[in-house]
Structures are given as C-alpha cells and as structure tokens.
Amino acid sequence: MSEHPRLVQVRQHILKHNDCAARALRERFHGAGTYVVSLVSSPGAGKTAFLEKLLGSLGGRYRVAALVGDLATDNDARRLARSGAAVKQIITGTVCHLEADMVAAALDGWQWEGLDFLFIENVGNLVCPATFDLGEDLRLVLFSVTEGEDKPLKYPTIFNTADVAVITKIDIASAVEFDRTAAHRNIQSVRPGMPIWEISAKSGEGMDAWLGFLESRLTESQERR
Amino acid sequence: MHELSIALSLLDLVEEEAGRRGVRVTAVHLRLGPLSGVVRDALVSAFELAREGTPQEQANLVIEEVPVVVSCPRCAAPKMLESAWKLCCPTCGTPTPEILSGRELDLVALEIEP
C-alpha cells in the first residue's frame, strides 16, 4: 500500500451550509407568499431612510415588516418601528454581514407568516454581504450621489450579485455635481442590463415608480405560487 | 473580514469529509474566482488561524484561481476577461451579462493519508 497522500475529489461549495439554510428560508417565504427584499450598501448610503419611506408607503396597503442587521445598537429598529411596521433588530456583534442562519434565528418566535413584504437590511458594508445568500427574492444595492460615481467599479462583486441598483439622495445630485451618466455607465459595466432606480427618500422623487416595480414583483411572485 | 466565516465553513466541510472516510487531511484544494467576493490572502490567513487546535492543524490550502469567463452573445463564444469590473467582450466590446466562471468558491479535492 502506498504511503503517499492520495487525492480525493470532493466538489462542494464552501458555503454549502449557508446555501442550504438560504434554500430552506426561500422555500418558507414562498410557501407563506412573502416577497423578500434585501438591501446592501456602504454605511451612510441611506438604507434606513429608504426603508423608512418604503415601510410607510407600503404599510397602508400591505402587511410589511423588516429585519435590520447592525454590529451594535437597536437604533435602526427603533427608528423604523415608528412607521408602525413590525421590525426586529439583528445585532451581529463583530460579524460584518448577515448569514442565512441569523435570519432564520430572527424569524423564530416572530409572527412573520402572512406578510406580503419582508425587508432585510444588511450590515452597512459593500464587501462581505456579497457572498452570503439570505433566501431573498430580490437583492438591492444602494449607493448615494455623495459616494462617487466609480463605486460600482470599486466593488464589482456586490453589484454583480445584486438584482437592482438604487441611487439614493437624488435630490442633492446637482449640489454635489453627481455625474449621472458616469454612474449609470459604471453600473452597466459591472452588471450589464441591471435595472437602476433613482430615488430620494427625503423629497419622495422616484418613489412612486419604484413602489410600482416592487408591487408588480409581488404580484408576479404570488401568481407563480 | 468575512473570510473567517468562510474558513470556518470550509473546516466544517473538511471535517465532515475526513470523518466520514476516517482519514487525515494533509491538503485542501480550492477553486476561487474573482467574483466570489473572497480575497485569497485573507482566506489563507483566516484558515491558518481557524485550523489551530483542530484535526486539520497540518492541512494546507492549495488555491487555484479561476479567471472570469463570460459568454459573448455576438461572437457566440466564451471569452476570458482581464478584470471583474468591465463585463464586455474583449474582442467586439458587446456587454456580456452571462458569466460562465469566476464566481467559484469551491472545495474541489482533499489530499489524504490513511
């Protein structure tokens, strides 16, 4: 018998455990008719303001709730709860991203079944959340007009794993000399064909069109059930 | 530093495979793409940290870096790209949303000793 090491083929995705947990979540969400949207961005891009506006606008007509991930504090959850929607904070401690297990744990003992929309706000970070599937139907990447038009080129992976890009704080675009054409070109460079929405949570600009898109996605997903 | 989470997931997988076969693992072979969101050096450091005190303490990582390959709809052919931030055909410039490889974050093989 040979004393040399032997090579055995094992083909597995390293994040098999997260993938399985995300698949189980997706099945539960689909079974319950809940459309799940996750939000990723750098810190300060306006995820919470955007989500506050979404919960407020959809809350009258749909059953909506949100899970919000942060390293520390429940400030965002308390702020969002003012909309009247059910909101739960996931405090990740030192972990720089959400994983499917954390979402599953947050759902435990929480009355989420019967929701139309569940929003999951990831930890503010454009690197780490890219790799982890959370069982969502739609992943949004947000970036604000103050961040620089080349953000997509610097963080191609997160843009590549997201389904939709949302440019926030569009009400101050001209004040900060935001180059809209360059921003769109850079998004299309890292993710050809990616739909882009420009919105302002403050002035409400672009929100109606965005809400219309979200509602059509919910209808499509419920018709597929 | 999500590489630590990934290193721990990798160790769990290796542990599972090694335990099932009743063998000792001397090397862990991975395939890593630029669109996996994982930095090679950070993963190596995280793995070296995570393996301490486990049965995999002697196991080394062998990483094969996989290029980004897209499918060009105009040339109707796979094309290898230099970078992950310009997804267009290097020959004709057509945007190439379809990615054939480059997202790999895979455990492919183990070197084992009885």
Residue A16 with chain B: CB contacts under 8 Å? 9, 13
Residues of B numbered 14-33 whose beta carbons fall under 8 angstroms of chain A's beta carbons: which are they? 17, 21, 26-27, 29-30
> How far is C-alpha A29 from the geometric centre of its chain's CA atoms?
15
Amino acid at B68: V
pLDDT at B25: 94
> Looking at chain B, how many residues does it have?
114
Cβ–Cβ contact A132 with B under 8 A? yes
Cα separation, A56 vs A89, in Å, equals: 18
pLDDT in tens, B38-93: 999 999 999 999 999 998 999 999 999 999 999 999 999 999 999 888 999 999 99
DSSP state, residue B67: P
Cα separation, A29 vs A221, in Å, equals: 11
Sheet strands (E) in chain A = 6-13, 35-40, 64-70, 86-91, 117-121, 138-144, 164-168, 196-198
More confident site: B87 or B114:
B87
Cα separation, A180 vs A144, in Å, equals: 11
Cβ–Cβ contact A2 with B under 8 A? no
The pTM for the full model equals 0.92
Tokens found for residue B59: 């196991």
* A-chain residue closest to B24, CA distance: A5
For residue A35, the cross-strand partners are A117
C-beta atoms of B112 and A127 within 8 A: no
pLDDT in tens, B1-38: 688 999 999 999 999 999 998 999 999 999 999 999 99
DSSP state, residue B98: -
* A-chain residue closest to B108, CA distance: A11
Residue A162 with chain B: CB contacts under 8 Å? none
pLDDT at A3: 59
pLDDT at A2: 52
Q: How many CB atoms lie within 10 A of CB B31?
A: 18
CB B75 within 8 A of CB B91: yes
CB A7 within 8 A of CB B111: yes
Task: Kindly give the confidence (pLDDT) of every residue in chain A, 225 residues in length, as a single tens digit, with 9 standing for 90 and above.
Answer: 455 679 999 999 999 999 999 999 999 999 999 999 999 999 999 999 999 999 999 998 999 999 998 888 888 888 888 888 899 999 888 788 999 999 999 999 898 889 999 999 999 888 888 899 999 999 999 999 999 899 999 999 999 999 999 999 999 999 999 999 999 999 999 999 999 999 999 999 999 999 999 999 999 998 887
Residue B9 with chain A: CB contacts under 8 Å? 14-18
pLDDT at B1: 67
